[in-house]
Amino acid sequence: MKNLLRYRWAISIALLTILALWGCGKKADESTNVSPGDATTSSPVATTSPGSGQAGGDTSTGGTLTAEAQKLGVKPQGETACPSNAPVKGVVTKKRGNIYRGPKSPDYQKVKPSICFADVATAEKAGFSAPK
């Protein structure tokens, strides 16, 4: 009888350990950090680098770029510039979410993009929305 209780106890502990490790593994996958230079990687979620907020507005950082955004966008050229073939700036913020700024937007030159898109439709497809 004592052996049976010991086996049940050992099995219970083993199952709890497996469950705890499985839960920790999920959290590690969700918080994978990728540098902005790796915008073409296929990781499920990547966080942006510090300083990718928007000048004159919400400058909080730490939002995420989805895999869809990484596929559809290109990395910025420098701190505030996007390539000429992708002029729409995508900005990732915690408070305001993922927003985009077109070339005719106020303060466009000051905006520090997290990712750049060819057009507004592509930015919206990637999960970005117009600023409110």
Distance CA 112, CA 131 (A): 14
What is the pTM assigned to this prediction? 0.53
Angle at 64 between CA 80 and CA 113, to 5 degrees: 10
Confidence band, pLDDT 50/70/90 cuts, at residue 13? confident
What pLDDT does 33 receive? 42
64: enclosing H helix or E strand: strand 64-66
From residue 4, give the alpha-carbon distance in Å to each of 1, 9, 11, 16, 18.
5, 9, 11, 18, 21
Report the pLDDT averaged over residues 1-30: 73
pLDDT grade, residue 25 (50/70/90)? low
- Start-end of H helices in 33-130: 67-72, 120-125
Q: What is the pLDDT of residues 115-124, one digit of tens each?
A: 999 999 999 9
Distance linking the first and last C-alpha atoms of the chain:
68
Average pLDDT estimate for 28-36: 41
